[in-house]
């Protein structure tokens, strides 16, 4: 957490992730499943790699090196050998199946940005994969004393990831308006989950859902979660995410007819940061 601890940390965290990806290429081989500490390290690097891809996509000041690193898919291919694709992992907050699909959605949007043609069939397949992604909880990791609450939170965060991925796919890849029934249902379901949570340390799904908050009630819910999470984690990254969310809400209030392109809006907001934003 130290590399994300400052609200306006420099580019160092992204450089660490890229160097870690290079090390993975030297140490890990494709088609070989890993267990124990080696699997944990691989999961950690992949998690941060996926979320850094989102940041790089929406940051105007990104460097060529950062974009090249984001487009490198070696770790994703390596993760195909994992024996725990459908298990909710503590490192991710969701299942590998869900995170890989979200990563591939980012890949598609990066291709769209570079004027490459992406078929609607490809996007539809990703949507189907995310709609039916399996997220199974390993009950052995639960504490006996806090079992019911812990289980609810773990399942809730995992589902929040899945819904955030669907929202982002529709808004960024399909260009679906916020008023569309599918988007409205994903957002409604996401807020129902947030209402049952006290904190949410997972920045990406929280940010994506917050981007769709239009009512005072929804925004109050986001601010409640952010405040509670900051009290528990006490890291600068939560502060930065709140700043970005509030800037985006200001922009939404000025765009009452929802005329702004979703991706351009998110890029404009993230690019106000003095450094590449982190959503890990």
pLDDT category at 11 given cuts 50, 70, 90 is low
Position of tokens 């949570």?
A: 197
Q: What is the pLDDT of residue 7?
A: 44
Alpha carbons 224 and 58: distance in angstroms, whole number: 26
The helix/strand count (H/E) of the chain reads as 12, 0
DSSP letter at 69 equals H
pLDDT above 70 covers a percentage of the chain that reads 94
User: What is the reported pLDDT for 236?
Assistant: 74
pLDDT at position 62 over 60: yes
More confident residue, 81 or 244: 244
pLDDT at 10 over 50: no
82-105 mean pLDDT: 95
Q: How far is CA 263 from each of CA 26, 98, 177, rounded to the nearest angstrom? A: 35, 21, 12
pLDDT confidence tier of residue 145, bands split at 50, 70 and 90: low
Spatial contact of 33 and 82, defined as CB atoms under 8 Å apart = yes
Tell me if 197 sits within 8 A of 156, measured CB to CB.
Answer: yes
pLDDT at position 146 is 65
Q: How far is CA 107 from CA 67, 88, 112, in A?
A: 11, 23, 9
277 pLDDT exceeds 80? yes
Lowest model confidence (mean pLDDT) among 100-104, 144-148, 189-193:
144-148
Please give the mean pLDDT across all residues of the chain. 91
- Position with higher pLDDT, 144 vs 132: 132
Q: For residues 133 and 152, give the distance between their C-alpha atoms in angstroms, rounded to a whole number.
A: 18
Find the length of the chain.
280
Collect all residues with Cβ–Cβ distance below 8 Å to 268 and sequence separation of at least 6.
251
Cα separation of 60 and 221, whole Å?
30
DSSP the chain: -GGG-STT--THHHHHHHHHHHHHHHH--TT----HHHHHHHHHHHHHHHHHHHHHHT-TT--HHHHHHHH--HHHHHHTT-S-TTBBPTTTSSBHHHHHHHHHHHHHHHHHHTT----HHHHHHHHHHHHT---B--GGGS-STTHHHHHHHHHHHHHHHHHHHHHHIIIIIS---TTSHHHHHHHHHHHHHHHT-S----HHHHHHHHTT--SHHHHHHHHHHHHHHHHHH--HHHHHHHHHHHHHHHHHHH-TT--S-HHHHHHHHHTTSSS-----
What token pair was written down for 165? 């991925």
* DSSP 8-class letter at 3: G
Answer whether residue 2 shows pLDDT above 50: no
């Amino acid at each position: 957490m130290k590399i994300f601890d400052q609200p306006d940390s420099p580019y160092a965290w992204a450089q660490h992730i890229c160097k870690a990806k290079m090390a993975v290429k030297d140490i890990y081989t494709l088609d070989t499943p890993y267990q124990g500490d080696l699997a944990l390290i691989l999961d950690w690097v992949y998690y941060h790699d996926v979320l850094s891809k989102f940041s790089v996509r929406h940051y105007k000041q990104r460097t060529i090196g950062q974009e090249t690193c984001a487009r490198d898919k070696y770790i994703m291919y390596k993760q195909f050998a994992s024996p725990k694709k459908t298990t909710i992992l503590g490192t991710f907050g969701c299942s590998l199946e869900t995170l890989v699909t979200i990563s591939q959605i980012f890949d598609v949007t990066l291709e769209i940005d570079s004027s490459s043609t992406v078929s609607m069939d490809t996007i539809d397949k990703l949507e189907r994969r995310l709609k039916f992604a399996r997220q199974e909880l390993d009950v052995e990791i639960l504490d006996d004393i806090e079992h019911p609450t812990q289980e609810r939170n773990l399942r809730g965060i995992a589902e929040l990831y899945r819904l955030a991925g669907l929202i982002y796919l529709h808004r960024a890849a399909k260009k679906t308006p916020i008023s569309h029934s599918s988007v409205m249902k994903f957002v409604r379901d996401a807020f129902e989950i947030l209402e049952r949570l006290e904190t949410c340390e997972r920045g990406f799904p929280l940010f994506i859902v917050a981007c769709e908050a239009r009512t005072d009630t929804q925004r109050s819910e986001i601010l409640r979660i952010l405040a509670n999470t900051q009290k528990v984690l006490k890291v600068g990254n939560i502060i930065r995410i709140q700043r970005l969310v509030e800037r985006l809400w200001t922009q939404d209030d000025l765009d009452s007819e929802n005329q702004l392109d979703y991706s351009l809006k998110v890029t404009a907001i993230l690019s106000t940061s003095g450094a590449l934003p982190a959503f890990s």
